[in-house]
Every structure is written in C-alpha cells, then in structure tokens.
C-alpha cells in the first residue's frame, strides 16, 4: 500500500509560520531561560549565578505578595466569568426574540482591545462614578475606586465583563450539541429548571466547561493589560500581578535576569495548574459519563 504524498501547499503554508513562531516565540523564550541563570541587567556584561535568582524569588516579599494577589485575582475571575457566561449561554440558547442580535451585542466587548476597554473604564471609575455617587449621596461611590486598596474589584468586574463573550460562545457551542429530545423525556419525568440543568445539561457540556476553566485560569494567571490600563499596578502594589511586576522590574528596573527567572517560574506554575485542572475535571467527566 503506497503512502499518500503530502501536498507541497501544506509545506508552503506551515513551514514559514513554524519558522516565524520559532524566531519570535521559541527562541526568545530559550534566551530568557538562559539569562535567568545570569546576572544580566538587560545591557552590558553578565556572569553565571546558577540558581541564585530562583532561590531569591522565595525570599522576595514583593514577588510573594504579587503571586498571592495573582492567585486571588485569577481564582475570582475564573469562577465569576464561568458562572456568568454559563447562565448567559443558557439564556441565549432559549427560545427568545432577537437571539442573534443579542449574541452579537454580548460578543462585542471581546472584539475590542483590552487596553481600549481598560482606558474607557478607568475614566468611568475615576470620573463618572464618583460624580454620580456624590450627587446621590452614596459615600462608597463618591471616591475614585481605583485609588483605594479595593482597586482590584473594579478591575475584576471589567475583566469578567470582557471575558464573558468568549466563554459564552464556547458554552453556546456545547449547548447546541445537546439533544432536545432528552429535555422532552426529562420533562415527562418531572425534571425541570435547575434539576434539569444539573442532571442533563451540565454533564453533557462538561468537556466545554473543562476547556473554559483551563483557558480562563491560564489567561487570568497572566493578567497584565487590564492592570496596566486601569491602575498601572497601583495604588502602591495593590493590583500588581506577577506579569506586571516582571514587566516593571525587568524592563525598567534593571532586573532583567532576575525577572526572567520569575517568568520561568510563572510558566511552570501555569503548566502545573493547567495540567492539574485537566486531570481533575477529566476525572469528573468520566464519573458523570458512567
């Protein structure tokens, strides 16, 4: 039996992209790992310091506090965006008027850049909301929320709002795969509302839930644009995620090698959490399918 020859068009499309990916992604990553074992400041000479940068990370209070905040933010954003997007997807999947129009409206925030959204809401939280709060006599809203220790909450709200679109789209795709005859059979057995969702809908869209949880967790552990646009990591270090810290200290603070080690550590943590999520959620899917 002769093997089918691969079309040359396949190589013409994939090889240039693979080369570009290696040049602009893989090679810089390898260099970053290399420099994480040095004392390079981003310029000048450098020397090998072995594991000194990695060992110092666990003693650095700024790094530890940034990791703790990043975990808190990622956990809150992941849970919030998945709960709300699942509710929204179920609502949009129902028999309602202007369904396609509403889908387009809810997907609109995802089409706008994170920085654009961030700057718009920075103005809203800094100017419009305090003005409205003052006129209504609501003290909690009379001040710029982005200038307080609770600045992460407005950022979280905006992050969840913008992330709803993509997650809702995934859940809608999952809901489209559910056989409607199952709902008809369930209604005959008296299963309606929340009970029908828990017993039929959610188990059948569990793979889509797994996808959204893993992607959300990974994305929010690397939260950067939202913080830079709305708070610049402030006030103080109240909203400094680990990605913001790496950028600030690595590129403007003369800690290129040290923050390269920090970036490698973050990369390993994200891989570990993503694999852990996949293992746990896939086991849950198997139990549901039995």
Which H or E run includes 199?
none
* Domains annotated on the chain, with CATH: 41-289 (1.10.3720.10)
For 123-153, what is each residue's pLDDT tens digit? 999 999 999 989 888 887 888 889 888 899 9
Cβ neighbours around 136 below 10 Å, total: 10
Quote the pLDDT of residue 288.
55
For 40-79, what is each residue's pLDDT tens digit? 988 888 899 999 999 999 999 999 999 999 999 999 999 9
Q: Over 60: is that where the pLDDT of 278 sits?
A: yes
Rounded CA gap, 166 and 185, in Å? 31
Choose between 107 and 246: higher pLDDT: 246
Give the residue-averaged pLDDT of 231-256.
90
Q: Over 90: is that where the pLDDT of 222 sits?
A: yes
Give the residue-averaged pLDDT of 231-258.
91
Q: Over 60: is that where the pLDDT of 290 sits?
A: no
State whether the Cα torsion 20-24-26-28 is positive or negative: positive
Give the residue-averaged pLDDT of 215-219.
93
Quote the pLDDT of residue 197.
81
> Who's near 58: CB < 8 A, 6+ residues apart?
64
């Amino acid at each position: 039996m002769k093997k089918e020859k691969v079309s040359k068009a396949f190589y013409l499309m994939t090889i240039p992209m693979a080369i570009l990916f290696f040049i602009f992604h893989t090679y810089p990553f390898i260099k970053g790992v290399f420099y994480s074992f040095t004392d390079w400041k981003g310029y000048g000479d450098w020397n090998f310091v072995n594991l000194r940068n990695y060992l110092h990370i666990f003693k650095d209070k700024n790094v530890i506090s940034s990791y703790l905040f990043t975990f808190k933010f990622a956990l809150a954003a992941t849970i919030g965006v998945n709960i709300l997007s699942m509710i929204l997807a179920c609502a949009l999947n129902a028999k309602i008027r202007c369904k396609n129009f509403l889908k387009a409206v809810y997907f609109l925030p995802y089409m706008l850049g994170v920085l654009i959204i961030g700057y718009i809401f920075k103005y809203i939280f800094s100017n419009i909301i305090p003005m409205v709060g003052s006129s209504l006599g609501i003290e909690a809203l009379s001040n710029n929320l982005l200038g307080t220790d609770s600045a992460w909450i407005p950022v979280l709200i905006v992050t969840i709002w913008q992330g709803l679109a993509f997650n809702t789209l995934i859940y809608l795709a999952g809901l489209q795969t559910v056989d409607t005859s199952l709902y008809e059979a369930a209604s005959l057995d008296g299963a309606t509302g929340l009970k029908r969702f828990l017993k039929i809908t959610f188990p059948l869209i569990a793979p889509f839930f797994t996808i959204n949880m893993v992607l959300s967790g990974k994305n929010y552990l690397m939260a950067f644009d939202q913080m830079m646009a709305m708070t610049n990591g402030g006030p103080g270090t109240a909203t400094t995620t680990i990605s913001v810290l790496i950028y600030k200290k690595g590129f403007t603070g003369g800690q290129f090698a040290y923050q390269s080690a920090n970036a490698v550590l973050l990369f390993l943590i994200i891989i570990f959490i993503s694999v852990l999520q996949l293992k746990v959620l896939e086991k849950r899917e198997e139990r549901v399918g039995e």
